[in-house]
Amino acid sequence: MPEMNTSSLPDLIFTILFFFMMVTTMREVTLIVKFDKPTGTQLEKLARKSCTSFIYIGQPTEAMRAQVGSGTRIQLNDKYAEPSEVYDYVSAERNELAEVDKPFFTVSLKADHNTPMGIMTDVKQVLRKAYALKIVYSANKPRE
């Protein structure tokens, strides 16, 4: 009885692996707030996006507005939150990082340009209490 030829098996495995890598998307967060980022002139890209935690602030999307009403909301991961919940969120995000990455932990605020400063101040006060002092504001380049 002849043995089965398995020389093409690695090629088949890599082809299937490559196929799944191409068709799979990595979802980070489903946005449930709308935000139109402000424009800025002195913009820089994030150096270590893996050490960055995102907080979204804006109006609820049309689909969510019927459930939560209108008004500016804070989104942490995939749910709405109050400013007081930001402390636990930031602490949990920092604790997930490796010890060598903790000094590079940054919080990125992605807020609508019409967000009231009261909410921004509340979030920044909680971030100060959580000792998350590196804050980045997301913005777009001005259109020419």
- HSE of 56, CA atoms in CB hemisphere, 13 A: 19
Confidence of residue 77 (pLDDT cuts 50, 70, 90): confident
Span 46-69, mean pLDDT? 86
Domain regions of the chain by residue span: 27-137
Span 112-139, mean pLDDT? 94
Token digits of residue 123: 């979030």
pLDDT for the residue numbered 4:
82
* pLDDT beyond 70 at 140: yes
* Whole-prediction pTM: 0.78
Region of residue 69 (phi > 0: left; psi between -120 and 50: alpha; otherwise: beta): left
User: Average pLDDT over the chain, rounded to whole?
Assistant: 89
Element (H, E) at 55: strand 52-60
